Structure 1
Amino acid sequence: MSERRSALCDEDLTAAVGDLFVHDDRLRGMEVKGEADGGVVHLTGDVDEEADLARAREVIGRLAGVHAVWDRVRVGGREPLVLDLGCGDQPQYPTNLGVDLRRTGAVAVQADLSRALPFRDGCADRIFAVHVLEHLLDFLALVDECHRLLRPGGVLHVLTPWWRHVNSVADPTHVRMLDTQTVKGICARPGSPRRWSPLHVGNDGATVFADLTPVAADHQVPATRSARFFD
């Protein structure tokens, strides 16, 4: 997709999200705004309950052209605690808590992402793992750490090069290649106590996007939800 077409699609998608908050009975009256950038809808504002934000994510995620739904929404007046793993020089949002092995101005906590992370269980509302998993031989260990760190209802945002795009192999530090089907395997690993439910999974031809929420080991993801994202 050309840069101009991408910008026009984002403009149209932003307008569609705005219409939902004005006209859709499920979202009308929420003090939330959404802006699309590269097919990722960024939500800001305030909601009273976590269920309100979850409903907004679900409804917006059904719009054609949405690859992921990220947010900086306050719930009950509280700012979300967001861990940004492998943030490098640039966290996804300025207020994120940057975590990286290399010390930069954006890093608040220096840590090796291939090992246990120095945070307590259930501490985070959101975790970003943007262009991280493809650099790790055993990225499932980090995914399990994210499951431990997220509170119930929290969200893990993953972004990684699609295995068929040149970006996946152009960087010699990439040691793994991923697909949306890889995300399917992450969500339902046989015998694993740390399982995930997909909120949204997308692929724009260059990048795989996934928004995942932790669930109990015995949780059964509805077949209709899996069918939206996976073969």
Structure 2
Amino acid sequence: MRVDYGDPQAVPAIENDLDESWVSQGWEPLLRRWIDQARTLGVAEPNAMVLATVSLAGPAPRPVARTVLCKGLSPEGVTFYTNYDSAKGNQLAADPYAAATFLWPALARQVHVRGVTERVPAEVTEAYWQLRPRESRLGAWASRQSRPAASRAELDQALADTETRFAEVDDIPVPPFWGGYLLRPDEVEFWQGRRGRLHNRIVVRIDGANTTIERLQP
């Protein structure tokens, strides 16, 4: 269960060594390019990212991670959408700091985005909501995300009740408990696999208008 990332037969999409110059124009263009290249290679959901938050519910803070989809990418950060009353929503309300990891094993690449989250404006959520299929809109209304469910039948009934509620509504509105978050990074790290585990790691640190670029040892 070991891949030598420097072998072009094992990782055909690998390109030249990741270099500091690749992020000279900022972190966002390179992340966007890597997502696009993963899509071109046929990677399923190349915008998937593992989002880690901090839970303060127990006797000590602990990390909690799950996979979500990046639905917006700009120089300001990455955007994802969820139920504000979900576990992650409550965790972000208590501690807005989060980290997200994009991973594309077929390209021997990953990117870590770390920083503070904030809710996006209502008009941004509305614009994305208009792109969602009707089934996804109904699901957002039906699910009390992260709450216990007695059975699958209970979930199916909740969806059926929601379908009845909106049966005569063509444009289902955004639920008041649902919307987007912007993860505004203060650090973005790019990782590229190389032979003998001597990988390339380049980190971009953002402090207001100041940006520094540094190579890290693997």
TM-score when normalising by structure 1: 0.25
The structure, 1 or 2, with the larger RCO (C-alpha pairs under 8 Å, 6+ apart) is 2
TM-score when normalising by structure 2: 0.26
